[in-house]
Structure formats: structure tokens, C-alpha cells
Amino acid sequence: MKISIIGTGYVGAVTGTCLAELGHQVIFVGRDQKKLDLINSGNSPIFEPGLEQLLRKNQERITTTTDLDDAIRKTELTFICVGTPSQDDGSIDLQQIRDVSITIGKSLGSDNYYHTIIVKSTVLPGTTETLILPLLERESEKKAFVDFGLASNPEFLKEGTAVDDFFRTDRVVIGVNDQKTNEILEKLYRPLNVPIFTTTIRTSELIKYASNAFLATKISFANEIGNLCKKMGIDSYEVFQGVGLDSRISPHFFRSGIGFGGSCFPKDVRALIAHARDLGIEPQVLDAVMRTNEDQPAQMLGLLKRHLDISGKTIGILGLSFKPDSDDIRESRAIPIIEALRKEGAIIIAFDPVSMDNFKQLFPDIRYAKTVYDVLHSDAILIVTEWKEFEDLDYRGKIVIDGRRISKAREEAAIYEGVCW
């Protein structure tokens, strides 16, 4: 098929490249010419293991443009993969969604071919039917599900394993209100040979939010139980090994520690909270998930103070990205930890294998280690991101507060505190 991908961020870049790998002709549409030039030269516009190789391998099937109208004319399917960032009140900003819907609508209006629009951006339930559809119909003077197709198709990609997550996803969720669009999407995803869950558009939109919100709930639950474990001298990892053997529960996403970050969980849970309140529902569980997550980094400071008067001491930070194998620092737990250390008058030296340049934008005034070993000379070390290479360090004689379970540190450090173990 001929497919256009609007947006070259995480979702767009991975989805487009993986669809090219499945043999489709892909046109990336973006506003940032630099990113498009990167793609044109076979370089990934984002840090994601394996994506660049796939991009290079499928170069002959990939083109780019800033001209959305032209891309619509040259393709049968269009994936909307633009950003839906958070607003201060937790709701999501739909400006980019609005803009592309208007432009797509205009193109549909002046074209005689049947075209299918697929919403892959994370949008609250009802957004496709109450915002995108009316804009497409108004601008095109055509009828959805008659003259053009429209669907929701949320992604469940994790940063660091996104390419693998695309091809080996547990399920593809398709939200449709007509049979023709359903058939087109089923045909597109059939080669993945994974379960396809077909439902209505707004149900599909909510499946995305409920999935992320539940994963975030598992983590906050693990941290709450983890804090209990810490008080009682019990290892939370062992607890969840036992808990996770129950097939109704599963062992996944119970890694306790300093909480979740990233561009998805915090944003999506906050958006769902704001949406629930708009509907007159008080989301007590989700609210608690966020409060637990916001409080968790402080556990680390509390443990450090048991062993050290922080003021004027050099505190080493291992890990700045929100998770390993990513250069993304959005909502990283390192942010509140470093803010708190600064308030306590600590001298901070930090190291991360790939995200220090990003972090310098936020914290230009802390020290950044040239090598990971520079951090080991600190008065105490805080482990904030579980990069594999931190398992190769020598922690003997060190004071270590571990927020991410690095077993070498647990075995070797002179003074060791696990946040939840």
C-alpha cells in the first residue's frame, strides 16, 4: 500500500519505518526539514535501538515531504502520528491534531480517490468522532465511512524496544465504525500474525489510556508495597516474584523503586484524571497513582540522609534518562531528585550514557562526568536509571542508594540502601 505518516516523532518514525519493512511505500510528512533530511540520508530522527538499520534497509520505499496535501494525493492511507502534549491542567493539547485534520480534509475535498485516515496519536476517547471527523467532513464536504475511511489504531510501543514491540506486539487494536475501514486495516496488519482486537473508535481510544493507566497503577502499587517492604526489611522484588506467579496478576511491571517517568505514563494518567473530572467522576485510584509516583523519589533522599549530611557533599548520579536504552529525559525521576539535592546544598556530578546533552538543557549548572568512573569518586552514589553498564562498576567501599536494583551495587557497596528492598 501507499502510506503517508504525519509526524516524525517517536510514534511516526517507528510506525512508518516498520510499515516500510512490511513492504509498503511510505511518505513521511513533517514540518522539521532537518528531521526529514536525516530520514532521507538513512539516519534515524530519534534515538531508538535498531531503527536506523531498518530505515537504511528500506530506503527505496521511504520518501519524505513537508507538503501534506501532496502526500495525501500520493497515498491510500494516512496515519496521524502528531504529538498531543500535556497542558498545565493535565488535559492534552489538540492543536496539532486540529491543524492536520483541517489540511487533510481540504486534500480529501479536492481528490476523487477513497482514502483512509488512521489516528495513531494518543487522544482521549471521543476525540476522533467529535473533533477529527467533523473537521474532515467540513473541509472535504464528504462523508466519513462513505467517501473516506476513518479509524483509531493506538500504539503500545515502549522506548528502547519499539521496533521489536511493533513486530511482536501482544495485540493490534483497531477502532472502526465501518466494515470497509476494518478490512483495510486487517489486511495491513495481517502479516504481523498477532491478535487483532477490533472494536469501536472511542473504545479503542480508551483502551490506550486504560492500558497505560493500569501499567502505571501496577508500578505505583509495587512502590507502595515496596515502601512497606523497606520498613519491614523484606525484599520487594522477591515479594512480586511470588505475587507475579499468579496468572491473574503476571510478573510484569512490578519493578519497584523510584517511580515511572517518560512521555507517556505521567501525561496519559494526568489526562485521564482531567477527563474523568470533566465528566464529574473523581478518579481516586488514578489520583493515588500519581501522588505515590510523585512522592517516591523523596524516599531516596530520606535514605541518603540516614548515612550522610548532604550539604556541601558531592553526590554522584548514575542515570538521567527516564529509562535505559533511551535518551529521553521527559519526566525522568532524576529531575525531582536533582532538584531536591540542590535545595539541600549538595554538589552534584551526574553521568548518563546518552542523555547528558538533553539533561544539560534543563540543568546547565550541575557537573557532568566525562566517564562513569568520575561519579564513583563521590561521597555517595544514587542509582536513578538501570543502564546495563552500571552492573560492571566497582562499588566496593561506596555509599550507594539504589532506586533501580543494580545487583552488583547491592553485593559490593560498603553502605547500600535499596529504595524498596
Interacting stretch for ligand UDX, rule CB under 6 A, among 196-204, 262-270, 354-362, 405-413?
Answer: 262-270
219 binds ligand UDX (CB under 6 A): yes
Q: Select the residue interacting with ligand UDX from 30, 257, 319, 403 (CB under 6 A).
A: 257
Q: Select the residue interacting with ligand UDX from 56, 253, 342, 354 (CB under 6 A).
A: 253
Least gap, CB of 268 to ligand UDX (angstroms)? 8
* Residue 306: Cβ within 10 Å count: 9
Alpha-carbon span 143 to 382, nearest angstrom = 57
Helix (H) or strand (E) holding 367: strand 367-368
Least gap, CB of 377 to ligand UDX (angstroms)? 26
**Shorter beta-carbon distance to ligand UDX: residue 148 or 237:** 237
171 binds ligand UDX (CB under 6 A): no
What is the C-alpha radius of gyration for the chain, rounded to an integer number of angstroms? 23
The C-alpha cell at 97 is: 491534531
**Shorter beta-carbon distance to ligand UDX: residue 202 or 208:** 208
Least gap, CB of 48 to ligand UDX (angstroms)? 10
Alpha-carbon span 254 to 56, nearest angstrom = 36
166 binds ligand UDX (CB under 6 A): no
Least gap, CB of 205 to ligand UDX (angstroms)? 14
379 binds ligand UDX (CB under 6 A): no
- Catalytic residue, from 18, 229, 264, 420: name it: 264
390 binds ligand UDX (CB under 6 A): no
CA angle 341, 403, 362 (to 5 degrees): 45
300 binds ligand UDX (CB under 6 A): no
The C-alpha cell at 146 is: 462513505
Alpha-carbon span 189 to 185, nearest angstrom = 6
Least gap, CB of 370 to ligand UDX (angstroms)? 26
Q: Select the residue interacting with ligand UDX from 24, 120, 202, 255 (CB under 6 A).
A: 255
**Shorter beta-carbon distance to ligand UDX: residue 133 or 409:** 409
**Shorter beta-carbon distance to ligand UDX: residue 275 or 323:** 323
Q: Select the residue interacting with ligand UDX from 47, 79, 166, 322 (CB under 6 A).
A: 322
Mark 11-30 as b/e (b = at least 16 C-beta within 10 Å): bbbbbbbbbbbbebbbbbbb
Q: Select the residue interacting with ligand UDX from 215, 271, 406, 419 (CB under 6 A).
A: 215
Q: Quickly count helices (H) and strands (E) in the chain.
A: 17, 14
The C-alpha cell at 296 is: 517516591
- Angle in degrees, 0-180, between the axes of helices 334-343 and 284-305, rounded to the nearest 10: 50
267 binds ligand UDX (CB under 6 A): no
Least gap, CB of 141 to ligand UDX (angstroms)? 35
Q: Select the residue interacting with ligand UDX from 84, 212, 217, 355 (CB under 6 A).
A: 212
**Shorter beta-carbon distance to ligand UDX: residue 48 or 129:** 48
Closest to 296 (Cα-Cα) out of 381, 219, 223, 229: 223
User: Is-catalytic flag, 264?
Assistant: yes
Interacting stretch for ligand UDX, rule CB under 6 A, among 50-58, 133-141, 212-220, 336-344?
Answer: 212-220
336 binds ligand UDX (CB under 6 A): no
261 binds ligand UDX (CB under 6 A): yes
Asked if 333 contacts 299 with a C-beta cutoff of 8 angstroms, the reply is: no
**Interactions with ligand UDX, residue window 126-165 (CB under 6 A):** 155-159
Q: Which amino acid is at 31?
A: R
DSSP line for 33-89: HHHHHHHHTT--SS--TTHHHHHHHTGGGEEEES-HHHHHHT-SEEEE-----B-TT
Q: Select the residue interacting with ligand UDX from 209, 254, 390, 421 (CB under 6 A).
A: 254
**Shorter beta-carbon distance to ligand UDX: residue 54 or 216:** 216
264 binds ligand UDX (CB under 6 A): yes
Alpha-carbon span 84 to 137, nearest angstrom = 22
Q: Tell me the sheet residues that pair with 380.
A: 315
Closest to 347 (Cα-Cα) out of 356, 355, 338: 338
Contacts of 383 (CB under 8 A, 6+ apart): 318, 319, 390, 400, 401, 402, 403, 404, 406, 409
47 binds ligand UDX (CB under 6 A): no
The residues that are catalytic are: 264
Contact footprint for ligand UDX (CB under 6 A)? 155-159, 212, 215, 219, 253-255, 257, 259-262, 264-265, 322-323
